[in-house]
Amino acid sequence: MCRQCYRIKVELRALHLRLEHAKKFGAPTRGDGLIPIPLKVEYMTAVAMAEDAQREGRRYGSLYRNDITSLDLEHELSFICTRFLKKDLYSNDACFFDCFTIGQKRLLLYFLAKMSREYLRRKRRIRARNKVAAKEVNQVLRKRSPGTYRVEKDPAVMRRRR
């Protein structure tokens, strides 16, 4: 595991202990066993960060073992260009990388993966918070009382979308 994974793991363990303590004893002022919402959101964010780190590890962890194709290079360059330049400059250009040897492709993908990893690591907490917020919004929308106004089923709103 890398340094970031260890840091996330330590943070997740500490939040889990705080969550268990809150479940057992409740909030310091209430003592009713309810979990404070900010603690729950922080814990869910840490879980999402851990999942994201594992996904990154599966994607980039074994670059030296896998066969590198021109399509892999195109995907990585497209990812980097989209994130940094806000424009995909290498769409459908996999044939440009056929002139490289396997070793050159592997080295190029290694350099590109370092840039991608750094971007993913810097944005990990933001992406996790957005994922948790989206999940919370979906749960709130699903748990509404029957008979309440639902904007997503309003015919006037649906006509405007089209």
Continuous segment of H or E residues that includes residue 4: helix 3-25
Asked if 57 and 72 sit in the same domain, the reply is no
Asked if 49 and 81 sit in the same domain, the reply is no
Burial class (CB in 10 A: 0-12, 13-18, 19+), 97: buried
Residue that has been written with the tokens 């699903």 in this structure: 142
For 82-100, write each residue's pLDDT tens digit.
Answer: 888 888 887 787 788 888 8
Asked if 73 and 100 sit in the same domain, the reply is yes
Asked if 42 and 70 sit in the same domain, the reply is no
Contacts of 60 (CB under 8 A, 6+ apart): 113, 116, 117
Q: How far is CA 6 from the centre of its chain?
A: 17
pLDDT higher than threshold 70 for residue 24 = yes
pLDDT higher than threshold 70 for residue 144 = no
pLDDT higher than threshold 80 for residue 111 = yes
pLDDT higher than threshold 60 for residue 148 = no
pLDDT higher than threshold 80 for residue 139 = no
Q: How many domains does the chain have?
A: 2
Closest CA to 138 of 46, 54, 44: 44
11 pLDDT band (50/70/90 cuts)?
confident
Asked if 38 and 73 sit in the same domain, the reply is no
Asked if 78 and 47 sit in the same domain, the reply is no
Domain that holds residue 76: 66-122
Asked if 87 and 115 sit in the same domain, the reply is yes
Rounded Cα gap, residues 131 and 45, in angstroms: 8
Asked if 49 and 73 sit in the same domain, the reply is no
Asked if 75 and 44 sit in the same domain, the reply is no
- Give the pLDDT confidence score for residue 158 in this predicted structure: 52
Contacts of 63 (CB under 8 A, 6+ apart): 106, 109, 110, 113
- Give the pLDDT confidence score for residue 34 in this predicted structure: 67
Contacts of 72 (CB under 8 A, 6+ apart): 105, 109
Asked if 79 and 37 sit in the same domain, the reply is no
- Give the pLDDT confidence score for residue 15 in this predicted structure: 85
For residues 27 and 4, which has the higher predicted lDDT (pLDDT)? 4
Rounded Cα gap, residues 120 and 112, in angstroms: 12
- The rounded mean pLDDT for the chain is 79
pLDDT higher than threshold 80 for residue 121 = yes
Rounded Cα gap, residues 75 and 134, in angstroms: 27
Asked if 33 and 13 sit in the same domain, the reply is yes
Asked if 47 and 75 sit in the same domain, the reply is no
Rounded Cα gap, residues 146 and 123, in angstroms: 38
17 pLDDT band (50/70/90 cuts)?
confident
- Give the pLDDT confidence score for residue 39 in this predicted structure: 80
- Give the pLDDT confidence score for residue 63 in this predicted structure: 75
